[in-house]
Amino acid sequence: MPLSVVILAAGQGKRMKSEWPKVLQPLAGRALLKHVIDTARQLAPEAIHVVYGHGGERVREALKSESVSWVLQERQLGTGHAVRQALPGIPDTHTVLVLYGDVPLIRCDTLAKLLKLSDAKTLAILTIMLADPAGYGRILRDARGRIRKIVEHKDASKQVLRVRESNTGIIAAPAKLLKKWLGEVNNNNAQGEFYLTDVAAIAAKAKFKVVPLLALTEAEVLGVNDKVQLAQVEASYREQRARALMLAGVTLIDPARLDVRGTVIAGRDVELDVNVVLEGKVTLGDRVRIGPNCVIRDCEIGADTQVFANCVLDHANIGSSCNIGPFARLRPGAALARGVHVGNYVEVKNTRLGAGSKANHLAYLGDAVIGKDVNVGAGTITCNYDGVNKSQTYIEDGVFVGSGSMLVAPLRIGARATIGAGSTITQDVPADKLTLARSRQVSIDSWTRPVKPKKS
């Protein structure tokens, strides 16, 4: 049967104590709801319907690039009422999968198993066995192991509260029957709401199969209602991503101190030290080593490159056998060819460095094209911005730039030229020449250093 996914994302999340709607709270750099949408999309549904309510316009604006159908729940009258808002847009011939915008770690393979259990006459419900099921609806089974009803915690007797199997709220059902069952749900309960869970008892009473699927891990069905639970889910996410990298052959010095906030492609014998943060799309070649306290965002790093401690690399393309840092910053547009050295306190922005070039200390290289085997001395700055316009600096192969040089763009320095230390270069420099641009040194005999008055 074709699949339609309904994601419930209308909750306010008062316990978050935040101006932002709950489903926009960040997990690994992405909104909770974004994680759920991405997982749902892996199932190749015909459509994804997101039911929104509190702060809805902010939710829609934050995820405006997502190809989903937005469904407004003007009044929050319960999960059954929320699903009912989306059903008119779903054909009777579809299977409906109900997910939650605040349950971000649900696994695609678990959902695929759940969908296999559902057919035109079967309701499938994902359950979980909890050591402490407080607050969860309890699953009551019949003698054949099928679900006969779900009792919400607030409506449960003491005997029912002893049941550990709990409802996750995630279901797969035939659309035609789900519409019928939800039409029979009432709000005669402690909350005064229309519970989606009531469809289990309605379906079972009508002699339809209501089958459970027990989730393998508690982490994947955890809901997020406050910042404590958000931190717990974040920790589970970090653990999952670290485990996946290690199984792929990456060496992690401390798996608990790695944050992966995107996708990582890693070659053989990659090593990541402590407190490394990987964001966006990161590609690491064979034998890449990343030192402690580094942030790598949307970068491609070639084989045998070493990034030393405390570097920030952002939208950079780095060749093989490079050395970077410590305390280096590569900004968007930085491109390093093979064997480039970018040392401590060097910042590179929108600049290409050719093979074998070096800027080892205390330099700023912006809006520049630098050839191969160039040496950039300590304290060198490409002066690329006049307050309005940015201009380009071209440094050809084999140039040696002495320390403390100011290269005022637009500028071209010819191949194998040498710039004397302390120069301020404002005009093009010929190849193979030594160029100096210094003021004449003067000592003032009559000058006296000011003296501070003594304290009384």
List, for residues 114-131, the tens digit of each pLDDT value. Answer: 999 999 999 999 999 998
Using a pLDDT cut of 90, give the percent of the chain over it: 89
Q: Residue 214's pLDDT is what? A: 96
According to the model, what pLDDT value does residue 189 have?
85
Classified by CATH at the fold level, domain 3-221 comes out as: Spore Coat Polysaccharide Biosynthesis Protein SpsA; Chain A (3.90.550)
**What number is the average pLDDT over the span 239-246?**
96
Return the number of other C-beta atoms located less than 10 Å from residue 85's C-beta: 20
Question: pLDDT averaged over the chain?
Answer: 95
Q: Hey, how many other C-beta atoms are within 10 angstroms of the C-beta on 107?
A: 17
Identify the band that residue 439 occupies on the pLDDT scale cut at 50, 70 and 90. Answer: confident
Tell me what the mean pLDDT of segment 151-164 comes to.
90
Task: Tell me how far apart the 2 most distant CA atoms of the chain are, in Å.
Answer: 107
Q: Is the pLDDT of residue 423 over 90?
A: yes
Where do you find CATH 3.90.550.10 in the chain? 3-221
Q: How far apart are CA 92 and CA 75, in angstroms?
A: 25
Architecture of domain 227-435: 3 Solenoid (2.160)
Q: Compute, in degrees rounded to 10, the torsion defined by CA atoms 397, 399, 405, 410.
A: -40
CA–CA gap between residue 182 and residue 199 (Å, rounded): 6
Question: Confidence band (pLDDT; 50, 70, 90) for 300?
Answer: very high
Banded pLDDT at 336 (limits 50, 70, 90): very high
The confidence score (pLDDT) of residue 455 equals 83
Report the distance separating Cα 346 and Cα 367, nearest Å: 14
276 pLDDT more than 90: yes
pLDDT surpasses 90 at 379: yes
| Euclidean distance between CA atoms 199 and 195, whole angstroms | 8
Confidence check: pLDDT of 208 > 70:
yes
Mean pLDDT (whole number) for 413-420: 98
**Catalytic residue numbers, as ranges:** 361
Residue 147 has φ and ψ, to the nearest 5°, of -80, 130
| pLDDT bracket for residue 70 (50, 70, 90) | very high
The token duo for 51 is 């039911």
Q: Where in the chain is the domain with CATH 2.160.10.10?
A: 227-435
pLDDT of res. 228: 96
Give the per-residue pLDDT at 50: 97
pLDDT surpasses 80 at 422: yes
Range 32-47 average pLDDT: 97
Handedness of CA 166, 168, 171, 177 (dihedral sign): positive
Q: How confident is the model at residue 54 (pLDDT cuts 50, 70, 90)?
A: low
Report the residue count for the chain: 456
